[in-house]
């Protein structure tokens, strides 16, 4: 029993004392044993765990060796101590055997720890929480004896003991590697991330600097596990959907399935990610416990300040405890956030993967219920909602508990007056809810409406920019856009004022709650006094209360939105799939027996009683009228339709060419090879057979040219041929060709048939099923199937069918007669079409790539990069690149941008705002200081004097602060609106003043993005970020002033902390901005890929390329996540480090208050400490808002980008002496005129010299690319002269303003472009003509009857692009425009599209009569229209090769004669 004498704890020595200490015996037993017992007890279980999880051996590193050496030294010290005591202190041992046992136990434990380190190394465990906790326990337990021994005498052994233990702990931290290898401490403090932050600070991060994803975050890992689970679920739920159920029961099941699909998805995700998510939930519960402990400790600290006899060490104890609780609170909070974001990221990957895989197997009926946009939306918007849900879900149940706890503690302090606080809450938050509702209505109904209108108009302007320039209409449309913009800003201003009310009420909420509670508390009873404890603990609780109150409504709405998204995703993921057994692989070649097919299970059959047997290697032609089911037949063979009955067999691999060519946004070569390896000779043979070689010669980079989205820069015929080449390259067994020759010209079609499809083609030994409208190919088919209304009415060879005299024979005869008539025209058209092809290509090399529909040119947005003179030599390198991609910018945002933004606002407004902020914070400081003085008021006879006065002053100061907050937020909103109005105006003018070449090389998407997203960011995000940042910066200054008022000495601590803060912040902002940019840049390829896949799903399935596309999708999603993961970790890294800085302020305020106990009153201490508790929150908010501003100010940079691009000449020249009636004669003179599309390219027109007299009618003809259109572009100065001059009526057109020139001459353009708006606006946007003049022009253009029959007559609304008028009517409207302007010079660019003859005749006859006394230049594509002109100019390669009257030219038998002969005119 002697051993334990005196080991009981002595409270007089430990707690009720000025110099607390633990008994010697307690130090030598409990403190030594606790870590040892921990290690010995848990070691067996830990070893078992290691035994079960082997990650492969780790080689001995220097660090590991050092640990072992130090560990053995540490163990040996224990034995040394044992012998020392045995020899030197033998008398003491009689009393306490304990002293002898302790060092032995300690040494044995260290040896055990060393063994565990080795075991971990062998089993591949890099970071050990188990040992980390042991060392922490050992260090903490040796701190008390250390202090005691330092006080007794500097006992070296103990110091060394501690030193070695510390060195062991710190050794485990020297490894700033990513999370997998990070130590426990590094994981909880996110130190493993520091490496990337430093790298990002030194040089802007690039994609290759980012870490690869951890295995558990990759798409492959997540989805492969999830898919099995989901498929099982879906099968279980859908098993009974068989045909055994009666119809009603099936319908009910379907409805239930739709309802429960969202729940299925949720439960699947929960099973996969739930366990990890729960660890996060545990963290947030711990966080809450610590959060609520802090006010209790504050209460104890203030109690200590009031109690004059309390020993000082208790004060230090409370101060340190507060610091520790604050630190633990932040650690647990960020661990929770990290878990949530990781789960969110995995959920996003999972859902994207499931949706993508589903879109490859969904059947056509289900596919028709949702557009491509909706599917892409599921991936972008709905996954984002699910990610938000993961982060905010816990708030839904935690926030009410937190609110209840706050109110419970407030009740403890203030009794029933706490209810007054509840009442205030109940008033403030519904007000905010009401404002939010009103704002969203304003935003959705009004602001969005105008914004949509503005963007729609901008889209039309960008699409029809050429017409605007030809007609000099820019100003009219500028006014229209600005009209929309003003209305939009008006709505924005209203919304911002409402928002300011809500911000002011929220920021004043803590004051209002305090005012209500303290007021009621003081009024209820004179004996209720407010002392420091009550005041500041209540304030701390009120500050805690604000967070759950603001989170709750947000969490609830996020949850509701997520439920909707889950239901949508579930519905899509549960939709019907293609049945695998639709097509069976069998020895027969291609056969359908007694098949009936429909597009959906409920719909009418699209094919009935189909019986086909296709022998191997034969060519089958399928003919029939539009809608007779030809494409459906091919779909049935691919298994794309719903099989009602019968069986389909297809032998071997299949290649499919759809009717609408599907082209990927990749190079031509990638589109043709389509995932196979490139075989050079076969590849070239395929290109030759598909007539692609001439095209590739003229494409800027041959087959390495990138094709735009949906094949934008290819003509319809080229797309079709690339699509065919893809199929041919495959070397499949069965070819299903859905009218591949429809979009190509006749002669090209013949070439392809001969070289590819026909009996002598590349595919002669394959089975080919060809849907066609071309009659000329039918005699060469082995078998012809005639489809009528989904049934095969006749089948047989060409001769057989003709001899039967059935429907087919009639069809052929009627066709043959019309074909003979058309052959002459067709010949002309063929040459025209061939020439069109070359026109397209030569234009492309000149920098005018053309968006084509069919093979008709429709020069719209051209996509080549503008090359400055300095770049000339480098032209070939990026020729194949098509559009300028939006690049991720690098580095920090330049100060220039901030300067530009603030300069736009003006100093006169900025300085008052800063003063307003200072005033607002001054009021806040005043009411807080007033509160602390009130709390220090002496208590006389149990009451305080002048309570009413104090309450009034307190209230007044608070309300003044509220009004000031409202003032500042409104002022900043107004500034934001001023700036964004100006920036938008600059952007709009810069864009409209750009030359055509700018629009040809800048994708309209980029420009629209500037007008939509970037302007929106400048409207809302930048001012909001500035508001938040400024309010928190001033709040921080207020806290610092209060802490310094209480303890001026705190400056010594606050200044270094401020430097540390600035240091950490600058590191973070650089990295964060760059990560955000990288993430944004890597996001769009995901959606592009999705979009393509959904549209080309049938092609991908037919070629069996699903797995390759899934891999590609995985790769893109993973690439996006590699930048998303560090982005959210960066925020956590920053927050953890900053909160330690903030907690340092708490510690400083508390410790210094304790030190100055005698001079400081409890009130001022309460004020300082309760304010310092807010620092951590303030710091992280400053950084967040600063980063937001920094990220969004990039928009100013991007909007400003187009200020420096090349501009056109000025629109009008001041004081020009141009006569009002110019040009009154209409003579045009070209003097050695040359023109080029871009610097560095050869001239498109080479030294043209030409005189056009007044009233001349000149036709300009030539092969495509000869320079016909270039003449028109030169006259209108769309392109400026490279050499020479053009005179109109003797005036050099280069010397006058562009609008002066363009408004005095008229063009009727090739493609009739109309804008959305009234018909009158389309004819006369400036309102310069009277209604009578407009009507008479409509009458002459043969539109009067049509327009007068419209309900709104001239105010008839044209839809976007004039789509509610027919093509012919649109052309007549363009004619009416020309008739209305009636200028002396008319340029007529003939439409190449197949105009209906009637409209063409109308236009020609009107021009002949109405423009008789004008000079007319016609760029002719059909020669018959210019046979009666005074002169014809034949262009060839930029030169005039012939020029004379048509009759003379035909007599000369030159180029013009040959063209006429080809067209069948001579």
676 CA to centre of own chain:
32
Between CA 1388 and CA 1399 the distance in angstroms is: 15
Ranges 86-95, 224-233, 946-955: which has the least confidence: 86-95
| Burial 428-460, CB ≥16 within 10 A → b, else e | bbeebeebbeebeebbeebbeebbebbbebbbb
At 382-414, the pLDDT tens digits run 888 888 899 888 888 998 899 889 988 888 888
**What average pLDDT does range 1026-1055 have in this prediction?**
85
Which pLDDT value is given to residue 188?
A: 86
Using DSSP, state whether 369 is helix, strand or coil: coil
Please state whether beta strands 1357-1358 and 1431-1436 pair in parallel, antiparallel, or not at all (unpaired). unpaired
Between CA 291 and CA 547 the distance in angstroms is: 12
Tell whether the model's pLDDT for residue 601 goes beyond 80.
no
Tell whether the model's pLDDT for residue 863 goes beyond 90.
no
pLDDT, mean over the chain: 79
For residues 1416, 1417, 1419, 1421, the Cα torsion angle rounded to the nearest 10 degrees is 40
Which pLDDT value is given to residue 3?
A: 41
Residue 1067: partners with Cβ closer than 8 Å, 6 or more residues away:
197, 198, 200, 201
Copy the structure tokens of residue 907: 């100093």
CA distances (Å), origin 1373, targets 480, 1302, 1406, 1417: 21, 19, 13, 20
Please state whether beta strands 734-738 and 767-771 pair in parallel, antiparallel, or not at all (unpaired). parallel
Please state whether beta strands 783-788 and 619-624 pair in parallel, antiparallel, or not at all (unpaired). parallel
Which pLDDT value is given to residue 749?
A: 79
CA distances (Å), origin 963, targets 497, 509, 812, 958: 13, 13, 86, 9
Tell whether the model's pLDDT for residue 285 goes beyond 90.
yes
Copy the structure tokens of residue 1348: 């007068």
Which pLDDT value is given to residue 239?
A: 42
Phi, psi dihedrals of residue 173, rounded to the nearest 5°: -100, -10
Which pLDDT value is given to residue 709?
A: 60
Using DSSP, state whether 5 is helix, strand or coil: coil
Tell whether the model's pLDDT for residue 1328 goes beyond 50.
yes
At 505-559, the pLDDT tens digits run 877 888 888 888 888 888 887 777 788 888 888 888 888 888 888 788 788 888 8
At 1419-1445, the pLDDT tens digits run 877 777 778 888 888 888 788 888 888
* Host H or E run for residue 832: helix 807-845
Query: 10 Å Cβ neighbour count for 207?
Result: 12
Which pLDDT value is given to residue 175?
A: 32
Ranges 63-67, 614-618, 852-856: which has the least confidence: 852-856
At 1239-1262, the pLDDT tens digits run 777 778 888 888 888 888 888 887
Instruction: For the chain, state the CA radius of gyration.
Output: 41
Which pLDDT value is given to residue 874?
A: 33
Query: 10 Å Cβ neighbour count for 747?
Result: 15
Q: How confident is the model at residue 842 (pLDDT cuts 50, 70, 90)?
A: very low
Query: 10 Å Cβ neighbour count for 546?
Result: 17
Between CA 587 and CA 600 the distance in angstroms is: 29
Residue 1142: partners with Cβ closer than 8 Å, 6 or more residues away:
326, 1175, 1176, 1177, 1178, 1179
* Helix spans in 665-715 (H): 668-673, 680-689, 693-698
Angle CA 279–281–282, to nearest 5: 65
For 415: left if phi > 0, alpha if psi spans -120 to 50, otherwise beta; the answer is left
Tell whether the model's pLDDT for residue 348 goes beyond 60.
yes
Tell whether the model's pLDDT for residue 890 goes beyond 80.
no
Which pLDDT value is given to residue 398?
A: 92
* Helix spans in 1156-1292 (H): 1162-1172, 1175-1200, 1268-1275
Between CA 545 and CA 264 the distance in angstroms is: 36
Tell whether the model's pLDDT for residue 288 goes beyond 90.
yes
Between CA 893 and CA 878 the distance in angstroms is: 28
The DSSP secondary structure of 1279-1343, one letter per residue, reads: S--SEEEEEETTEEGGGS-HHHHHTTSEEE-SS----SEEHHHHH-TT--S-HHHHHHHHHHTT-
**What average pLDDT does range 819-844 have in this prediction?**
38
**What average pLDDT does range 353-381 have in this prediction?**
80
Copy the structure tokens of residue 45: 């279980």
User: Which residue, among 812, 825, 634, 773, has the nearest Cα to 1465 in the 3D structure?
Assistant: 825
CA distances (Å), origin 1304, targets 28, 390, 1209, 1337: 105, 64, 17, 17
Maximum CA extent, the chain: 139
Percentage of the chain with pLDDT > 90?
4
Q: How confident is the model at residue 336 (pLDDT cuts 50, 70, 90)?
A: very high
Ranges 481-485, 1362-1366, 1368-1372: which has the least confidence: 1362-1366
Between CA 790 and CA 801 the distance in angstroms is: 19
At 733-758, the pLDDT tens digits run 889 998 887 767 666 778 888 888 88
Between CA 886 and CA 948 the distance in angstroms is: 64
Tell whether the model's pLDDT for residue 1344 goes beyond 50.
yes
**What average pLDDT does range 918-938 have in this prediction?**
85
**What average pLDDT does range 626-632 have in this prediction?**
81
CA distances (Å), origin 983, targets 500, 882, 987: 23, 29, 6
Q: How confident is the model at residue 816 (pLDDT cuts 50, 70, 90)?
A: low
**What average pLDDT does range 1347-1360 have in this prediction?**
79
154 CA to centre of own chain:
64
Which pLDDT value is given to residue 838?
A: 34
Between CA 180 and CA 1097 the distance in angstroms is: 39
The DSSP secondary structure of 48-64, one letter per residue, reads: HHHHH---------HHH
DSSP assigned state of 1020: I
Please state whether beta strands 1306-1308 and 642-650 pair in parallel, antiparallel, or not at all (unpaired). unpaired
1038 CA to centre of own chain:
38
Using DSSP, state whether 824 is helix, strand or coil: helix
**What average pLDDT does range 115-135 have in this prediction?**
82
Q: How confident is the model at residue 290 (pLDDT cuts 50, 70, 90)?
A: very high
Between CA 543 and CA 1176 the distance in angstroms is: 13
Q: For tokens 């060393």, name the residue.
A: 114
Highest mean pLDDT (candidates 337-346, 744-753, 943-952, 1190-1199):
337-346
Between CA 1093 and CA 1105 the distance in angstroms is: 11
In contact, 253 and 241? CB cutoff 8 Å:
yes
Residue 1013: partners with Cβ closer than 8 Å, 6 or more residues away:
1195
Which pLDDT value is given to residue 867?
A: 31
Between CA 1417 and CA 1406 the distance in angstroms is: 15
In contact, 1246 and 1233? CB cutoff 8 Å:
no
> Hey, CA dihedral for 591, 595, 598, 604, is it positive or negative?
positive
Tell whether the model's pLDDT for residue 377 goes beyond 50.
yes
**What average pLDDT does range 1368-1376 have in this prediction?**
81
Does the pTM exceed 0.95? no
CA distances (Å), origin 1, targets 37, 1143, 1197: 22, 47, 82
In contact, 1234 and 1247? CB cutoff 8 Å:
yes
Q: How confident is the model at residue 825 (pLDDT cuts 50, 70, 90)?
A: very low
Tell whether the model's pLDDT for residue 864 goes beyond 60.
no
**What average pLDDT does range 687-703 have in this prediction?**
80
Which pLDDT value is given to residue 293?
A: 92
Between CA 724 and CA 695 the distance in angstroms is: 15
At 697-717, the pLDDT tens digits run 767 777 787 776 655 567 677
**What average pLDDT does range 837-860 have in this prediction?**
34
* Host H or E run for residue 754: none
User: Which residue, among 1453, 1420, 1447, 1464, has the nearest Cα to 1261 in the 3D structure?
Assistant: 1420
Q: How confident is the model at residue 243 (pLDDT cuts 50, 70, 90)?
A: very low
Q: How confident is the model at residue 843 (pLDDT cuts 50, 70, 90)?
A: very low
At 1136-1174, the pLDDT tens digits run 888 888 888 888 888 888 888 888 788 888 888 888 888
Which pLDDT value is given to residue 710?
A: 55
At 9-18, the pLDDT tens digits run 566 666 666 6
Tell whether the model's pLDDT for residue 813 goes beyond 60.
yes
CA distances (Å), origin 1028, targets 1062, 1136, 1179: 18, 21, 12
């Amino acid at each position: 029993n002697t051993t334990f004498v005196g080991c009981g704890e002595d409270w007089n020595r430990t707690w009720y004392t000025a110099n607390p200490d633990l008994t010697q015996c307690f130090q030598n037993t409990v403190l030594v044993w606790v870590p040892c017992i921990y290690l010995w007890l848990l070691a067996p279980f830990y070893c078992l765990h290691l035994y079960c999880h082997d990650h492969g051996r780790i080689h001995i590193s220097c660090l590991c060796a050092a640990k072992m050496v130090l560990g053995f030294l540490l163990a040996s010290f224990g034995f040394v101590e044992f012998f020392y005591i045995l020899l030197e202190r033998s008398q003491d041992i009689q009393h306490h055997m304990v002293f002898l046992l302790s060092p032995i136990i300690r040494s044995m434990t260290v040896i055990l720890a060393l063994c565990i380190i080795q075991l971990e190394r062998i089993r591949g465990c890099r970071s050990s929480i188990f040992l980390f906790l042991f060392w922490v326990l050992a260090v903490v337990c040796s701190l008390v004896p250390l202090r005691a021994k330092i006080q007794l005498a500097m006992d070296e052994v103990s110091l060394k003991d501690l030193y070695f233990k510390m060195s062991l702990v710190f050794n485990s931290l020297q490894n700033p590697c990513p999370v997998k290898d990070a130590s426990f401490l590094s994981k909880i403090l996110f130190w493993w991330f520091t490496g990337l932050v430093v790298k990002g600070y030194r040089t802007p991060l690039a994609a290759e600097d980012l870490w690869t994803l951890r295995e558990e975050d990759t798409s492959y890992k997540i989805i492969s596990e999830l898919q099995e689970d989901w498929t099982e679920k879906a099968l279980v739920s859908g098993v009974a959907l068989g045909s055994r159920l009666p119809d009603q029961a099936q319908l009910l099941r379907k409805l239930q399935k739709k309802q429960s699909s969202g729940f299925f998805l949720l439960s699947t995700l929960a099973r996969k990610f739930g366990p990890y998510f729960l660890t996060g939930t545990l963290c947030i519960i711990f966080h809450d416990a610590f959060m609520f402990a802090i006010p209790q400790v504050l209460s104890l600290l203030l109690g200590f300040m009031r109690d004059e006899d309390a020993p000082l060490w208790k004060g230090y104890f409370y101060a340190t405890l507060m610091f520790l609780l604050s630190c633990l609170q932040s650690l647990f909070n960020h661990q929770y956030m990290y878990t949530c974001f990781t789960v969110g990221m995995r959920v996003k990957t999972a859902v994207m993967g499931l949706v993508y895989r589903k879109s490859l197997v969904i059947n056509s009926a289900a596919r028709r219920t949702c557009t491509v946009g909706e599917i892409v939306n599921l991936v972008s918007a709905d996954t984002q909602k699910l990610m938000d849900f993961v982060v905010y879900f816990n708030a839904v149940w935690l926030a009410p508990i937190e609110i209840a706890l706050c109110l419970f503690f407030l009740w403890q302090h203030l009794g029933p007056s706490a209810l007054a606080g509840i009442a205030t809450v109940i008033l403030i938050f519904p007000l905010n809810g009401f404002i939010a509702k009103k704002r969203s209505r304003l935003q959705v109904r009004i602001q969005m409406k105008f914004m949509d209108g503005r963007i729609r108009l901008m889209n039309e302007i960008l699409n029809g920019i050429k017409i605007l320039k030809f007609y000099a209409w820019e100003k009219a449309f500028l006014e229209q856009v600005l009209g929309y913009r003003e209305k939009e800003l008006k709505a924005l201003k209203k919304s911002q004022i409402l928002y300011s009310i809500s911000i002011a009420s929220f920021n004043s909420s803590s004051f209002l709650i305090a005012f209500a509670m303290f007021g009621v508390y003081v009024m209820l009873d004179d004996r209720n006094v407010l002392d420091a404890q009550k005041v500041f603990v209540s304030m701390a609780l009120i500050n805690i209360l604000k967070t759950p109150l603001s989170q709750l409504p947000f969490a609830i709405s996020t949850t509701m939105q997520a439920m909707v998204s889950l239901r949508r995703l579930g519905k899509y993921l549960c939709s019907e799939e293609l049945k695998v057994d639709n097509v069976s692989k069998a020895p027969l070649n291609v056969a359908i027996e007694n098949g009936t097919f429909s597009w959906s299970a409920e719909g009418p059959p699209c094919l009935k009683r189909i019986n086909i047997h296709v022998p191997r290697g034969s060519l089958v032609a399928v003919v029939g009228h539009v809608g007779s089911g030809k494409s459906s037949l091919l779909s049935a063979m691919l298994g794309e339709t719903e099989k009602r009955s019968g069986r389909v067999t297809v032998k071997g691999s299949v290649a499919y060419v759809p009717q609408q060519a599907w082209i990927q946004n990749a190079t031509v070569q990638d589109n043709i090879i389509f995932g196979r390896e490139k075989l050079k000779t076969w590849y070239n043979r395929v290109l030759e057979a598909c007539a692609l070689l001439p095209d590739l010669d003229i494409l800027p980079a041959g087959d390495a040219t990138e094709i735009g989205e949906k094949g934008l820069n290819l003509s319809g015929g080229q797309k079709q041929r690339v699509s065919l080449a893809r199929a041919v390259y495959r070397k499949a067994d069965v070819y299903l060709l859905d009218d591949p020759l429809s979009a190509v010209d006749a002669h090209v079609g013949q070439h392809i048939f001969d070289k590819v499809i026909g009996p002598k083609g590349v595919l002669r030994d394959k089975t080919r099923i060809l849907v066609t409208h071309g009659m000329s190919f039918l005699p060469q088919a082995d078998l012809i199937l005639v489809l009528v209304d989904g049934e095969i009415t006749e089948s047989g060879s060409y001769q057989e069918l003709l001899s039967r005299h059935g429907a087919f024979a009639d069809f052929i005869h009627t066709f043959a007669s019309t074909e003979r008539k058309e052959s002459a025209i067709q010949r002309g058209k063929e040459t025209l079409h061939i020439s069109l092809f070359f026109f397209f290509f030569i234009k492309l090399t000149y920098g005018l790539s053309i968006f084509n529909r069919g093979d008709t040119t429709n020069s719209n947005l051209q996509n080549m990069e503008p090359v400055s003179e300095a770049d000339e030599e480098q032209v070939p390198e990026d020729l194949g690149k098509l559009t300028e991609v939006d690049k991720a910018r690098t580095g920090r945002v330049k100060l220039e941008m901030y300067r530009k933004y603030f300069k736009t606002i003006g100093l006169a407004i900025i300085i008052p705002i800063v003063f307003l902020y200072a005033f607002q914070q001054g009021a806040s400081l005043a009411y807080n200081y007033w509160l602390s003085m009130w709390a220090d008021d002496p208590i006389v006879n149990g009451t305080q004097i002048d309570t009413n006065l104090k309450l009034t002053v307190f209230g007044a100061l608070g309300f003044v602060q509220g009004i000031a907050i409202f003032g500042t937020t409104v002022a900043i909103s107004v500034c934001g609106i001023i700036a964004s109005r100006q920036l938008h105006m600059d952007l709009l003018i810069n864009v409209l003043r750009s030359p055509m070449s700018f629009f040809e090389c800048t994708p309209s998407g980029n420009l629209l993005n500037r007008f939509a997203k970037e302007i929106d960011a400048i409207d809302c995000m930048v001012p909001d970020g500035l508001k938040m940042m400024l309010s928190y910066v001033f709040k921080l200054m207020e806290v610092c002033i209060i802490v310094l008022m209480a303890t001026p000495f705190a400056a010594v601590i606050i200044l270094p902390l401020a430097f540390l803060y600035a240091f950490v912040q600058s590191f973070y902002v650089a990295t964060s901005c760059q990560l955000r940019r990288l993430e944004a840049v890597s996001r769009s390829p995901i959606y592009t890929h999705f979009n393509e896949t959904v549209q080309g799903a049938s092609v991908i399935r037919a070629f069996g390329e699903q797995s390759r596309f899934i891999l590609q999708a995985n790769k893109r999603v993973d690439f996006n996540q590699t930048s998303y993961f560090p982005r959210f970790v960066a925020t956590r890294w920053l927050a953890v480090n900053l909160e330690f800085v903030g907690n340092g302020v708490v510690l400083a305020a508390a410790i210094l208050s304790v030190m100055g106990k005698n001079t400081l009153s409890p009130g001022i201490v309460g004020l300082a400490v309760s304010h310092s508790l807010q620092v951590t929150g303030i710091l992280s908010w400053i950084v967040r808002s600063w980063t937001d501003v920094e990220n969004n100010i990039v928009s100013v940079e991007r909007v400003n980008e187009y200020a420096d691009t090349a501009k056109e000449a000025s629109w009008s020249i001041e004081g020009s002496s141009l006569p009002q009636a110019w040009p009154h004669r209409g003579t045009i003179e070209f003097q050695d005129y040359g023109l080029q599309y871009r610097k560095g390219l050869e001239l498109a027109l080479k030294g043209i010299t030409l005189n056009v007299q007044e009233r001349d009618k000149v036709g300009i003809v030539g092969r495509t690319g000869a320079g016909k259109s270039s003449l028109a572009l030169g006259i209108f100065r769309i392109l400026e002269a490279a050499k020479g001059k053009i005179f109109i009526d003797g005036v050099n057109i280069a010397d006058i303003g562009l609008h002066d020139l363009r408004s005095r001459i008229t063009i009727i353009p090739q493609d009739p472009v109309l804008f959305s708006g009234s018909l009158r606006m389309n004819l006369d946007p400036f309102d310069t003509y009277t209604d009578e003049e407009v009507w008479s022009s409509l009458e002459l253009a043969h539109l009067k009857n049509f327009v007068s029959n419209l309900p709104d007559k001239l105010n008839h609304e044209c839809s976007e692009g004039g789509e509610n008028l027919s093509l012919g009517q649109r052309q007549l409207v363009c004619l009416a425009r020309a008739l209305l302007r009636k200028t002396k010079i008319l340029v007529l660019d003939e439409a190449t599209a197949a105009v209906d003859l009637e409209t063409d005749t109308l236009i020609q006859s009107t021009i002949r009569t109405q423009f008789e006394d004008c000079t007319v230049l016609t760029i002719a594509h059909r020669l018959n229209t210019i046979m009666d002109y005074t002169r014809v100019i034949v262009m060839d390669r930029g030169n005039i090769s012939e020029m004379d009257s048509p009759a003379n030219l035909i007599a000369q038998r030159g180029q013009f004669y040959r063209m006429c002969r080809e067209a069948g005119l001579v």
